[in-house]
Each structure stands twice: as structure tokens, then as C-alpha cells.
Chain A
Amino acid sequence: MFSSHHVWAEVLPEERADIGYHYYDGGGVEVDGATMLVRKNFAGKYSIYGGYHHDSISGASPDVLAGASEYNEERDEFTLGGTYLYDNTLMDLSYTYSDEDDYESNLVSFDISHEMFGAMTKMNIGASVGTDDVERVDLDSFAEDLDRYLFRAGISQVITKTFAMQFDYEATVEEGFLNNPYRFVFVNGVSQGSGSEEYPDTRTGQAYSLKGIKYWQHRASSSVGYRFYRDTWDIRSHTVDLNYSQYIGNQWVVDVYGRYYTQDKADFYSDNFSTRLRYMARDKELSTFDSFAIGGRVRYDLFKDYKFLRTASLNLAVEYLDYDYDDYSGIESVADTASLGGGYSFDATTIQFYISSWF
């Protein structure tokens, strides 16, 4: 309530700083680390922002385990960007760099949004170009790369005084080394060894999403979102997102959210191939599965107008995730191959704690 977030009038994004800690535990993997995001505006029309995210990863999921022994890994991600406001148009340019022992990623993004019809409608288009380097921690001679092109367009529309909708489209084109260098496939129950996956070297995906958000007079809002995705590997997926936010008193905001996701497998995925094929994948990300998530977030506003800060808040978010695979068995060793075919599932918990401040 303290911050004036004028979503429907073209202004620079809010000046704020967020710093926090995140923790993930599930499916044999633990990830935690620090994260932060800062934005500062100048002269009413310029804005710069920077972000940092650290992942400290231990363990490995079963589809990688037989290829690479359990390990510890660090990932650092840096983002730097600038936004320029000109009349009813916002332009944004950003660069993201991510680095881990065996993977390096660069992404440059440019986005324009423009408000029209008395600020009832907002359109945006954007594009990103990225390049990744893929390596193996156990093999110095291994070096592959991957190029990525993204194109997106969207429209936000005020429908009534308390209801708004948003449509988004995004195309992703990837070219290069798209498989995991460690993962292996089974052919007739026989492991083909680490790095035996073989993927096509291009992938084009298209995502369409439609969201609606409604304000309720008891100081609450609810939103529903749906996304459809399909790609040239024959993966089709549906995602449904729900969120409910409620103010309690003057200092608390409580969010409750849920998500359901389902997808069909890639046409070259199998848990156990009957014969060697040109393309073979056993990444559970490309299998047939569904997942649901349920979570909540609590925000507590600490004060109002203290020195140079308008307000600051403490936030805690906890989410429970469940993944259920139809045609992935999670089998790691050749001794268990009788059970190949399906039936793996795992659950996970994420925790985020962060402090937000607006100035």
C-alpha cells in the first residue's frame, strides 16, 4: 500500500532493492545461495538495475548420476540493465552472464513497451540473443556451444476498474549442442555410457500465455494464467497458474499460489530404446510428466518513511513441488534394468527469505 506502483501509466519501474537467500531440496539435489536485485532511477527518465544470483549445488539427479559422480558445483549469475522512458514508451536493454564449472551463458535482451488509448492498452515487443559454452568437468578437450534467439510480443489491456488481462507470445530458437554432456541412454537395458545422448542441433519452441487479474473490495486480488507451449521436438505442454493476494491490517500481505504443469514427451525420448536411433534422449525434462506446486508468501512491512527509505519489508516464501513421470524410471544402475519403463516421482521444497526496500 505504501508504494505507488502505477502499472497502467507509463512510468519508470519502482526504485527498489531486494536481497535474499534461497533454498531448494528435492530429487537428490540441494541448491542454495544469495540473491539480490537493485534498481535506481535518474532524472525521471533513466533507470539502471543490477542483479546477482548465486547457486551452490550439491548432489545430482538420477539421470545424471550414472554418468557423473555426485558433485558440488557453484553457479553465479550477473545482470546489468538500463531503462529509458520517452513519452509513452519504455526501452530496456540488459545483459545477463552466468558462469558455472562446465557451463557459461551470455544473453543480451532488448524490449520496448508502448502505452496507448489513454493508457488502457500497453504493447510490448522484445528480442534476446544469447550464446552458451558447454564443457565437461572431467574432460578438458570437450567444448561445445549453443546459440539462442528469442522473440516476444505482448499486450496488456484494462478491461474494467478492477480487472485487467495480458497476452504474451514468445518464440525460442536454439542452435548448437543441446544435450547434457554427461547423461546416458539405455538400449535394450544396456547403458550406452556417459555422453551417449544424441539430440538434434536445432530446437524451435513457441509459447502463448493469457492471464487475468481481478481486484476484490476486501483488499485482495486473484489472478489466473494459462500457457500453451509446443516445439519442433514434439513437446506440447499446458501450464495453469493461480494466485491470491490479501492485505491484512496495514503491515501484512499474504499470497497463496498454485500451479499445474503437464507435458508430452519429445519424439526421440525413451527410458529404454529397443534399437539405436539417430537421436536418443533420456532426459526426464523431455519425458511425459505432470507436476503441481502449492506455495505461500508472507510480507511484513517494517516502517514507513525512515530516512531515505519509503518502506522496507521482510518476505518469506515456501513452496512445495511434486513431479510425477509416466515414462521415466529414475534407474541409475544396470543392476535394476528390469524396472525400466516408468514410475519415477519426486517432491521438493523451496524456501526464499528476502528483504525488500523502496526508496
Chain B
Amino acid sequence: MFINSKKVSRLLFIIVTLTALSACSSFRLPSLPELEPWVAPYEREYLADPIMSFNKDPLSNKYRQHVFNTREGARGAGYAHGGGCGCN
């Protein structure tokens, strides 16, 4: 039977990773120091302002993204996922 070496190495990688993960989880982790937020909830008035959102106009952003996606080679890590081609 023909054995694909790529598949074997991928399988080995998965087995080794899972073994390592389960080994790690079986140890008791030292308790982490409690992380104190350095910006308290009551100090987030400015952060909560709508103009502080990267996507405050979802409809408009989605349209812009589609205009660029259909004219450029790059894609991803943007705002929205559209469908279709519309690329002529």
C-alpha cells in the first residue's frame, strides 16, 4: 500500500502536539497573579463612544470592502465577508 509521507508527518505532528498538550495540562499550574485592569470600567467613557469603533458604519464599511475586494488581489483581515463575484 502506498503511504504518503506528507500525511504521515502531519499525523505525527498532531499526535506529538496532543501528547504535549495533555502532558502540560496534567501538571498543576502555579496560580497566576490576579490581573488588575489598568483602565477601570468607569474610566471607559471615551472608549465606549461610537466614534471609537472600527466598524461604526457596518453597511458603509461592508460596501467599501466589497469595492476594494473585487478590484484588488489581497483579501482578508478586513471588516466583513461578502459573497459573490461582481468582479467584471
Contacts and interface: CB of A to CB of B under 8 A. Distances in A.
Interface stretch (A100-108, A271-279, A333-341): A100-108
Interface string B18-61: 00000000000000000111111101101111111110111110
A96 B39 CA distance: 38
Interface in A98-132: 98-100, 103, 105-107, 109, 117-120, 128, 130, 132
Contact of A160 (B39, B56, B70, B73): B39
A207 B50 contact: no
A100 B85 contact: yes
A184 B1 CA distance: 44
Interface of B: 35-41, 43-44, 46-54, 56-60, 62-64, 67-68, 70-78, 81-88
Interface of A: 1, 3-9, 18, 20, 22, 24, 29, 31, 35-37, 51, 53, 55, 57, 60-61, 64, 68, 71, 73, 75, 77, 96-100, 103, 105-107, 109, 117-120, 128, 130, 132, 134, 150, 152, 154, 158, 160-162, 164, 166, 168-172, 180, 182, 205-209, 211, 213, 215, 220-221, 223, 225, 227, 229, 231, 233, 235, 237, 239, 245, 247, 253, 259, 261, 263, 266, 285-286, 291, 297, 315, 317, 319, 321, 323, 350, 352, 354, 356
24 contacts: A5-B50, A6-B44, A29-B88, A37-B62, A96-B83, A98-B82, A98-B83, A103-B85, A119-B37, A120-B38, A134-B85, A162-B46, A166-B54, A169-B77, A171-B76, A207-B76, A211-B54, A221-B49, A221-B51, A221-B52, A235-B74, A297-B57, A317-B57, A356-B59
